Structure 1
Amino acid sequence: MPRGSSQKREREYGKLKSEFKKEHRYPGREDEVAARIVNKQRKQAGETKDS
């Protein structure tokens, strides 16, 4: 996870990653997909810097 992300987002990332592994979704890409989902949510919530 990127620097500055909250503990809530860290937990959400971990849950998504473990859920994907358990369900055998996105084999070999669980980390990437979970990070993309959490980063998208952070952007929509305005938790990131805009350039």
Structure 2
Amino acid sequence: MGELPAISGVAELWRLTTGDDRITVAVIDGLIDEAHPAFTRVRLTQILDA
């Protein structure tokens, strides 16, 4: 695959799909302390492999 900027239409697609600053997605691969202040007012969703 070539460099992303060289692929036709990627720059415009990136401009249109950069998301919403209010949304953050993270992958956590271990246990977390949900009582930690960093998780105050955070909605955590667990997704399990089927």
TM-score norm. by structure 1 comes to: 0.22
- CA radius of gyration, larger in: 2
Pick the structure with more helix per residue: 1
TM-score using structure 2 length: 0.22
Structure with the larger RCO, 1 or 2 (CA within 8 Å, 6+ apart): 1
